[in-house]
Structure 1
Amino acid sequence: MEDIKKIFAFAKEYHYKLYSSILMAISSVLLGIVPFYLVYKIIMAFLKQPEVEFTYLLKMTILILAVLIAKSYLFLKAMSASHEAAFDTLMGMRKSLAEKLIKMPMGEIKKRSSGQLKNIIVDMVEEMELILAHLIPEGVSYIVVPTILVICIFFLDWRLALAALGTVPISLIIFKLMMQNNEEKMEYWFKAGDKMNSNIVEYISGMEVIKIFNQTTSSFSKYTDSVKDYEKYTLDWFQESWNYMAGFFVILPATLSFIVPLGAYFHLQGTLTLPAYILVMMLAMGLGEPLSKLARFIESITMIKRKSQAINEMLASEELDLNENDLAPVNHNITFDNVSFAYDQEEVLKNINFLAKQNNVTALVGESGSGKSTIAKLLVRFWDPQKGKIRLDGVDIKKLSFARLMETISYVSQDIYLFDTTIRENIRMGDLKATDQEVEAAARLAQCHEFILELENGYETFAGDAGNKLSGGQKQRISIARSLLKDAPVIILDEATAFTDPENEDRIQTALNDLIEGKTLLVIAHRLSTIADADNIILMDQGRIAAQGTHQQLLKESAIYQKLWRAHQEAMEWDIKVEGVKANV
């Protein structure tokens, strides 16, 4: 229950709402018992005298109606207060999870698929509403009220009080049988659900490829198999439990099962008065509904516990050490000092040493998988290196506040993401205080102003989900505009012009060259021609620095660089031949 208690901690600001909802829920359930007592009074009136005045019956009917209305009103107010507290709490939980994602290393985030993250942040958090909005007010009332009723019956006749609880041990035996191996079954069920969610997200994300290659849901086996597996396991598990559940929910609220025959026996023996017998039966009937509803919460507790555990595990995940000091770098020289880094156990960077100077262009080149992008991601602290230090102005970047580091660095990733908002707002994310004129000036520098104006609504055009309404080159130029608007002293371009046509690539390179004054520019590129004029080119090979120097120096001294340069030149001249027809690409 410790995991559920941690969920309650998010509701501490709204305890007054929860407490008031509990009081109103208890009052509502207690009022639900009053009609049974009033019916008892009517029965006793008829037993005392055959003819009962119509006005008395009318008054009792109106009173019963008024009590039922009051019961419904109090329940409505209780649910209103508990739901307000619940949804405020869910908002707090989602904000905490979002903040946690910012603080977590990317390695920790990537251990979870997007489907798993969606399942935790959206689905599992949403299901915590059951605890906060229902389990607390209703669950407490369904415990308190039956307890009060049993005590009342105990004062009337202790034997019938025990009889009223006679269904409880039988129900608990059935419940225990139903819960056999429940932990193992639930673990597999959650894993099957996570797998299905991940594959659904992958299926939707890859819809373009699926359509292009004329695939169907049946041929995309990862998707269909995971859905079928989840469906089959869920139905098999539920079918196995249904008979037990039916027995549990029938027997537990059947409080009259023992009271009616035993009460009749005691009355015939002369040890129980008729009024007491009738009142006990009426109170026992009021006992059935709360017990039945309480049972519905009991079956959910195990599942809620497992889901709250997943939420708390994510909130307790490893975080980057984010300083809050006010250190500010004077210059923006970047130093990698014996840096080594591994994803889990796989070492991808080994003893990396280089200096990227301010007012210079430093380029990282090498084959795919050589560690170029990892260097960029370490610099923006997506991860921290296991060995060595990364310094900015001689200061270990881990000693800078994360906010200061992010203000200092502008990072254009090869994995471009645009939000489903206007193009203007996507660019403005580089500087939220920027004016429309400043946004458009950055767009001009990034060579995207013209194509934006050609769109249906210009800068007010929505980019679509993940920018899917734009081409790869268009998204890349908008991403560069966003970076230019930020105007940070350190700029990292990770294959930032890979999808851009040669004409616009030249224009962007010219714009960046004009902006290099006073800045440190780190460029990762496959097209070697784009970095031939770099002040320092660092050649990566299998996680190590194989050589560094200018383009001309590396052509003379590095066989690996010579090989890359030849491959680049050949690619520039690449053509396609089809049945004697030659088409230059």
Structure 2
Amino acid sequence: MFKKILKYSGNDNKLLKISIFQSILSIICSIIPYFITYLVIDKLVTNQKMEGGFLAIAASIVFVMLILQNIIYLIGLNNSHIFAFNVLQNIRESLQERLEALPIGYIQDKGKGTIKQVFVEDIDSIEMLLAHAIPEGISNLLVTLIVIVMMLLADIRLGLLALAAFPIATAGFMFMFKIGSKYMAEYYAAGQNMNNNIIEYVNGMEVVKVFNQDGYYFGKYKESILNYRDKTISQYKATRSSVATYSVMFTASELALLPIGSYLVMNQSASISNLVLVLCLATSLGTPLLRLVSFLPALMQINYKIDELENIMNCEPLQVGNNEFTGKNYNVSFENVVFSYDDTPVVDDLSLTAKEGETTALVGESGSGKSTLAKLLVHYYDPHSGKITIGGQDIRELSLFTLSSLVSYVSQDVFLFNQSIFENIRLGKPTATDEEVIEAAMKAQCLSIFEHLPNGIHTIVGAKGDKLSGGEKQRISIARAFLKNSPILLLDEATAYIDAENEKLIRRVINQLAENKTVIMIAHRLKNIKDSQRIYILNKGKVECFGSHEEILSESKTYQQLWHAAIKSEMWQPKGGA
């Protein structure tokens, strides 16, 4: 566990070593008063004469040691926290880099709540390990061993009596650790499920209200919270007796020492000085021992969380090269591509080509693999076999930056950041001038959007662009594509959820954007792809047929059914309509 985390420490290990040393000094300072107490008591019980200044010196040493203990402890604590937060920063940066390199599908399968929990709560919990458990745990353990050796050297019989409760305490702790570990997987999974449900409930609040589904989704949200509560209580109930056992027994050194030690002294088998010394040393063990074992239940949870972090860090990343584009043209080819979501085949040995300067349409029923092909092209996933090329060059040879510069992806699901419209458009080309951003907005017919907004193009759009309509968000997405001006344009049902008036406007804008580019279009509405130079009919992840609209209309029963259904839906109107 420690090695897994300390590999992120970089050059900060020196700070950790200093904090461990300071923690050891602090504990030694806390034990010295017990030794001074022994000297005073020893003189009293052995009727030794104490000179006038002895008590004053003893009291002064105790006072100074207590002051030094706190000062050194705070300095060490400060150093260990600086070390801890530097490591947490390194872990988060490494996790961010890993997430950026992972397939989007992996992140979606994990869920936003799980990723957020790992990024925030799980990594934050490691702070306790780094800032407290390592420096204080090591120092408390070392001092405990030193004190035990001192007790045994003073009188081995009395030392063993002082340690008589340790086997019971250790057994209690081991039992707690074993039982707690058994419950940990369920407890952690319940926490992840609760996080995912909370985020889903909050994000979907508007839809829940509109469709009056408060009961169902609140019930799902509440059930996950109750399940998390139940798992937490179950773990607590299973371990509370063993926690109480080791907590009491680790501090019960006097249990056997006082009665049997007193008997040995009365029989002159042991000296009263040694009994007092061992008693003082045993009493001083209580604080470091309790501090030491207090870390252990938390370490059990942290160990599980570190394993979850390591699972993400060790996940197979996308195959990404670092080459520039050297293709001879901008033709896009899928060559014998196979891809599955988990064990569900989606693309099955599929081959197709989209030529430069032409529009290639992908048509098929839901689940036929259309959107998956789009995501494979922009390298959200690696195909399980086969390859995807641009101009003959495998996209896995390209850097993500190079591939991104080649393809503009306009999806049906437009995501806008909670920034101004201006900044959201500029995402298409971060180095663009203000004039270039405004020109792209004009080409995408966005000026009418700005007219009714309080700050025009500089209006903050809200989380996920909630202040804008679907058509407005789509035009901003197209403005990004204009600004990016990539040679390949990928349209994934870009007008699927747009009303008729907005659709006409967006179709005109897209036609302008598509000039002289390699265009791949996925569309629900077949009238939008009728004029495409090449149409591929997909069925269960395979190419059923391809050709122009006229060619496949005469050859493909699937396309005939889709086309006739599209015509009927266009002709349909409510009763009473003109």
Q: How does 1:429-508 map to 2 (within 5 A)?
A: 429-508=427-506
1:22 corresponds to which residue?
Answer: 20
Farther-moved stretch of structure 1 (498-507 vs 416-425) = 498-507
1:13 aligns with one of 1, 11, 14: 11
| Aligned counterparts of 1:62 and 1:216: Cα–Cα separation in 2 | 68
State the shift of 1:217 in Å.
Answer: 5.2
| Aligned counterparts of 2:480 and 2:217: Cα–Cα separation in 1 | 40
2:243 corresponds to which residue?
Answer: 245
State the shift of 1:305 in Å.
Answer: 1.6
1:139 aligns with one of 137, 140, 164: 137
2:307 corresponds to which residue?
Answer: 309
Q: Deviations over 1:44-81 (max 9, x none)?
A: 5656578864x655554444333222212222222222
Letter in 2 for 1:496: A
1:90 corresponds to which residue?
Answer: 88
2:322 aligns with one of 294, 318, 324: 324
| Closer, same or farther: CA 515–111 of 1 in aligned 2, 3 Å | closer
1:374 corresponds to which residue?
Answer: 372
Task: Name the SS for the 1:21 alignment partner.
Answer: helix
Q: How does 1:118-517 map to 2 (within 5 A)?
A: 118-216=116-214, 220-517=218-515
| Closer, same or farther: CA 478–151 of 1 in aligned 2, 3 Å | same
1:535 corresponds to which residue?
Answer: 533
| Aligned counterparts of 1:95 and 1:157: Cα–Cα separation in 2 | 54
| Aligned counterparts of 2:558 and 2:216: Cα–Cα separation in 1 | 46
Letter in 2 for 1:205: N
Letter in 1 for 2:292: L
| Aligned counterparts of 2:433 and 2:233: Cα–Cα separation in 1 | 57
1:31 corresponds to which residue?
Answer: 29
| Aligned counterparts of 2:461 and 2:11: Cα–Cα separation in 1 | 38
Task: Name the SS for the 1:418 alignment partner.
Answer: coil
- Structure 1 residues not aligned, in runs of 5+: none
Q: Deviations over 1:99-151 (max 9, x none)?
A: 22222223333332222222222222221112111111111111011111112
- Structure 2 residues not aligned, in runs of 5+: none
Task: Name the SS for the 2:360 alignment partner.
Answer: strand
Task: Name the SS for the 2:520 alignment partner.
Answer: strand
| Closer, same or farther: CA 267–203 of 1 in aligned 2, 3 Å | same
| Aligned counterparts of 2:414 and 2:368: Cα–Cα separation in 1 | 21
| Closer, same or farther: CA 150–375 of 1 in aligned 2, 3 Å | same
| Closer, same or farther: CA 209–516 of 1 in aligned 2, 3 Å | closer
| Aligned counterparts of 2:253 and 2:405: Cα–Cα separation in 1 | 68
State the shift of 1:496 in Å.
Answer: 1.9
| Closer, same or farther: CA 554–170 of 1 in aligned 2, 3 Å | same
Contact 1:427/1:439, CA 8 A, preserved across alignment = yes
| Aligned counterparts of 1:434 and 1:534: Cα–Cα separation in 2 | 32
| Aligned counterparts of 1:490 and 1:73: Cα–Cα separation in 2 | 65
Task: Name the SS for the 1:233 alignment partner.
Answer: helix
| Aligned counterparts of 2:32 and 2:404: Cα–Cα separation in 1 | 64
Letter in 2 for 1:350: D
| Closer, same or farther: CA 459–133 of 1 in aligned 2, 3 Å | farther
Q: Deviations over 1:413-457 (max 9, x none)?
A: 223222223332222222211222222222222222331353233
Contact 1:371/1:540, CA 8 A, preserved across alignment = yes
Q: Deviations over 1:218-252 (max 9, x none)?
A: 76433222222221232133123222211211111
Q: Deviations over 1:353-374 (max 9, x none)?
A: 2221112222212222221111
| Aligned counterparts of 1:52 and 1:409: Cα–Cα separation in 2 | 91
| Closer, same or farther: CA 219–341 of 1 in aligned 2, 3 Å | closer
Contact 2:177/2:300, CA 8 A, preserved across alignment = no
| Aligned counterparts of 1:583 and 1:283: Cα–Cα separation in 2 | 96
Contact 1:364/1:372, CA 8 A, preserved across alignment = yes
State the shift of 1:471 in Å.
Answer: 2.6
Contact 2:334/2:353, CA 8 A, preserved across alignment = yes
| Aligned counterparts of 1:347 and 1:538: Cα–Cα separation in 2 | 19
Task: Name the SS for the 1:447 alignment partner.
Answer: coil
Contact 2:328/2:392, CA 8 A, preserved across alignment = no
| Aligned counterparts of 1:88 and 1:572: Cα–Cα separation in 2 | 62
Task: Name the SS for the 1:136 alignment partner.
Answer: helix
Letter in 1 for 2:303: K
Task: Name the SS for the 1:91 alignment partner.
Answer: helix
1:99 corresponds to which residue?
Answer: 97
| Closer, same or farther: CA 34–463 of 1 in aligned 2, 3 Å | farther
2:558 corresponds to which residue?
Answer: 560
| Aligned counterparts of 1:301 and 1:537: Cα–Cα separation in 2 | 59
Contact 2:208/2:217, CA 8 A, preserved across alignment = no
Q: Deviations over 1:262-287 (max 9, x none)?
A: 33223223243333332322222211
Letter in 1 for 2:388: I
Letter in 2 for 1:524: I
Q: Deviations over 1:379-416 (max 9, x none)?
A: 11222223322111112222223332222112122232
State the shift of 1:288 in Å.
Answer: 0.7
| Closer, same or farther: CA 253–536 of 1 in aligned 2, 3 Å | same
| Closer, same or farther: CA 143–205 of 1 in aligned 2, 3 Å | same
Length, aligned pairs only: 577
Task: Name the SS for the 1:351 alignment partner.
Answer: strand
| Aligned counterparts of 1:449 and 1:69: Cα–Cα separation in 2 | 70
Contact 2:359/2:519, CA 8 A, preserved across alignment = yes
Letter in 1 for 2:230: K
Q: What TM-score results when the alignment is normalised by the length of structure 1? A: 0.91
| Aligned counterparts of 1:583 and 1:297: Cα–Cα separation in 2 | 75
Task: Name the SS for the 1:340 alignment partner.
Answer: strand
Task: Name the SS for the 1:342 alignment partner.
Answer: strand
| Closer, same or farther: CA 259–328 of 1 in aligned 2, 3 Å | farther
| Closer, same or farther: CA 502–215 of 1 in aligned 2, 3 Å | closer
